[in-house]
Amino acid sequence: MKLEAVELRRLDVPLVRPFRTSFGVQTHRDVLLVRVLTDEGEGWSECVALADPVYSSEYVAGAQAVLTGHLLPRLFAAADLTGRSVAPALAGVIGHRMAKAAVETAVLDAELRSYGISLARYLGAERSHVECGVSVGIASSVDALLAEVQSYVDQGYRRIKLKIQPGWDVEPVRAVREAFGPDLPLQVDANTAYDAATMPRLHALEEFGLLLIEQPFVEEDLHQHAVLSRQMRTPVCLDESIVSAAVAADAINRGACSIVNVKAGRVGGYLESVRIHDVCAALGVPVWCGGMLETGLGRAANLALAALPNFRLVGDTSASDRYFAEDLTEPFVLVDGRLPVPTGPGVGVDLRRDVVTAMTQSTETVRP
Ligand code: OSB
Ligand code: MG
């Protein structure tokens, strides 16, 4: 394919409720949509960077700047552009994985639409439906948390993940365990909020039979995660630390984690995500699909990935109404705790142009 133009569209999409984590509160999703126009047709994707650099160093305005200034010029210069040729063409730019993932996914979408095959099939998906869990933010009170968890359990979610931080950990986890019993699949995510001084609070979670503890320490500190992994029976899972298949293999070999959260944006795209899936499978480590509060466009691609065989734990691909009153695509609706894997060409969903237009804040078109 030949890349002819790229449209970068910024949207302001309200969340149905504030999402509080140890790194801040999200009330809106500042979404960057990437539309590639090629001689074979167009493709779309969503960049998962947040508005501020609080989960990782990337943020939406930075992603847009590196796309226009550094990534897209390299792709305009590429002769035979395919999804697989994007990462090698961009390898000269260090980092900026979320921005790279966004453009790679849009090019893949265009390419696969031209062949008429789905992203799920292209990546090697083996299931038609994905079991869904839900990530529950830090609440204003334990009672408010219990009410929120109850509503998700009633909707059929198959696993609950509680966001924790020092001071919001043992008490809410104990309350959820007591209210919902020992059989509720339950795990926690600290988003790097702990350190050596607060580590005893993590040990105090041992008695609650959690499926895993996600990313307790800063992303660079594999050693501290390895220490905790040795000390606890509860498995340690990494999110922020895992930025590539090489890092995943290193973290596993050092004993820093026994489970990996895969997010395509964090690792530079769906192709690197499949490599992580494969290296983890080879090392006997199960993976699950994380989320970044994506709209239906990003969710569709995540469902394709989550349908691969080593995605053996329930992930964070929740239904549209967990995030948005109005999604950018036809809403994903939970049925029996599962979502369908899209089967149409490319990512397999189409944008609702009226909704996209109504929420658009700015549009920039980049040409060679
Ligand atoms: O750490 O998994 C995380 C959302 C934004 C940034 C980081 C994380 C999350 C979530 C929500 O936990 C996942 C989702 O439902 O999309
Ligand atoms: Mg996480």
Alpha carbon distance 284, 4 (integer Å): 43
Give the distance (Å) from ligand 2 centre to CA of residue 204.
20
Tokens 């999703």, residue located: 29
Question: Is 163 a known active-site residue?
Answer: yes
| Residue located nearest, by CA, to atom 7 of ligand 1 | 292
Residue 218 confidence (pLDDT): 98
Residue 329 confidence (pLDDT): 98
Indicate the pTM of the whole model.
0.98
pLDDT band for position 335 (cuts 50, 70, 90): very high
CB 344 within 8 A of CB 43: no
Pocket test for ligand 1, best of 58, 152, 259, 293 (most atoms within 8 A of CB): 293
CB 317 within 8 A of CB 323: no
- Is ligand 1 within 6 A of the CB of residue 290? yes
- DSSP 8-state assignment for residue 164: -
Across 261-265, average pLDDT? 98
* CATH class given for the domain over 121-340: alpha beta
Residue 81 in 3-state DSSP? Answer: coil
- Ligand number nearest to the C-alpha of 292: 1
**How many Cα atoms sit within 13 Å of 130 on the Cβ side?**
36
pLDDT digits (tens, 9 = 90+) for 87-116: 999 999 999 999 999 999 999 999 999 999
- For ligand 1, what atom is nearest to the CA of residue 263? 2
CB 354 within 8 A of CB 330: no
pLDDT digits (tens, 9 = 90+) for 49-63: 999 999 999 999 999
Residue 305 confidence (pLDDT): 98
- The candidate with the shortest Cα–Cα distance to 33, out of 299, 269, 263, 297, is 297
Residue 25 confidence (pLDDT): 96
pLDDT digits (tens, 9 = 90+) for 173-213: 999 999 999 999 999 999 999 999 999 999 999 999 999 99
Residue 107 confidence (pLDDT): 98
Domain ranges of the chain: 3-116+351-366, 121-340
Tokens 């105090």, residue located: 204
Residue 229 in 3-state DSSP? Answer: helix
pLDDT band for position 333 (cuts 50, 70, 90): very high
Question: Is 161 a known active-site residue?
Answer: no
CATH fold, domain 3-116+351-366, is: Enolase-like; domain 1 (3.30.390)
pLDDT digits (tens, 9 = 90+) for 267-299: 999 999 999 999 999 999 999 999 999 999 999
Pocket test for ligand 1, best of 19, 316, 323 (most atoms within 8 A of CB): 316
- For ligand 1, what atom is nearest to the CA of residue 261? 2
- Is ligand 1 within 6 A of the CB of residue 292? yes
Residue 111 confidence (pLDDT): 98
Give the distance (Å) from ligand 2 centre to CA of residue 250.
19
- For the chain, the average pLDDT equals 98
pLDDT band for position 365 (cuts 50, 70, 90): very high
